[in-house]
Amino acid sequence: MTWDRRSLLLGTGALLLTGCTASTSPRTPSASTSTTPSGGSSTPSATTAAPSSPSPAALSLPATTPWTADSNELHGPVKLVVTRMVEALGTWDAAHAGLAAAQDRLSSLGIDPSLAAQASGLLSGGAAAALQVIDAQYGGLLTSSASVLVPTRQWVVDAAGTQSERGWTFDVRLSAASPSWHVTAINPSNPGAATSVDSLATQVLASSRIDLPPASRADIASGQVHNSVLEAMLTLAKTYTIGVSVIRSGHPTHVFGTTRLSDHPRGRAFDTWRINGVPVVATSTPRSLVTGYMQAAAAAGSYNVGGPYLLSGRAYFSDQTHHDHVHAGFAT
């Protein structure tokens, strides 16, 4: 199916203009100024006060980079609206913590504030937080609806300065309502609890050549990813460095726009957004690198390899949804 490109760009452009009334870069915690306590005596105290704990707003968090759309993206403004929303939800300081503040941030982007509750995991657990969008890929792209998958990494720091790391992959749904596309749902990943895993899973988790977002690492640690996927990853990693975007959780349950069950939620597929350090969708990425990787995925056992290029053979397919990543599905 084809898009009415002029209508889409007009629609997404309107949404983008509405959504960027606030800053397009994630807010980082700002240092607070110290104040002299009120009501104190002008006479110096006879004892020395112990150093106070750092203000939560002054606690250090890693620097993050706003997601940007490559010129080769299909309908980049749609993804930009989604990523700015996720960045706004997951980045906050002590003065802007909690659901109400998150709802205000969505309102400033022209997005339904009630959706903040659907990403409640991002909004608590510390005194300040910073979020990095790892990638934004389509989980589905149709004329009037879309799914954008957003793997994330979030750092949270508590009032004592202790930092922890976590992350989700969000399946964000949009509809092409007039006059612009609207976010209609935010579905966070739910990998399940970690369990004892075999040596294949341990090897994948330990590999420096397989970059896994937090939700995908948790998928593997939960024991719900088939050995066929793990074996293929290890085989591909002998030749390529792999940036995985999604394995099981955070992906639509059904192939988008159909009632056919996807291989992803069954732990029988993985998507690659970056090969040898370069994004699949980037204009500068050599076609031969992507096609070679697709062929290697098929040789590693995938019966269903999707990507931006249609190759010869029953194992391969290509469509708009897979313009920005390589899908590898496995029968068992």
Is the domain 5-26+62-188 a CATH 3.10.450 member? Answer: yes
The helix (H) or strand (E) run that includes residue 131 is: strand 128-133
CA neighbor of 233 nearest in space, from 212, 248, 219: 212
According to CATH, the topology of domain 199-329 is Muramoyl-pentapeptide Carboxypeptidase; domain 2 (3.30.1380)
Spell out the residues 6+ positions from residue 28 whose beta carbon is closer than 8 angstroms to its own: 61, 63, 64, 91, 93, 130
- pTM check: above 0.85: no
Return per-residue pLDDT of the chain as tens, 332 residues.
Answer: 433 333 333 333 333 333 333 333 333 333 333 333 333 333 333 333 444 445 544 568 999 999 999 999 999 999 999 999 999 999 999 999 999 999 999 999 999 999 999 999 999 999 999 999 999 999 999 999 999 999 999 999 999 999 999 999 999 999 997 767 899 999 999 999 999 999 999 999 999 999 999 999 999 999 999 999 999 999 999 999 999 999 999 999 999 999 999 999 999 999 999 999 999 999 999 999 999 999 999 999 999 999 999 999 999 999 999 999 999 999 98
Q: End-to-end alpha-carbon separation of the chain, Å?
A: 30
Rounded CA-CA distance 152/83 in Å is: 10
Q: Where in the chain is the domain with CATH 3.10.450?
A: 5-26+62-188
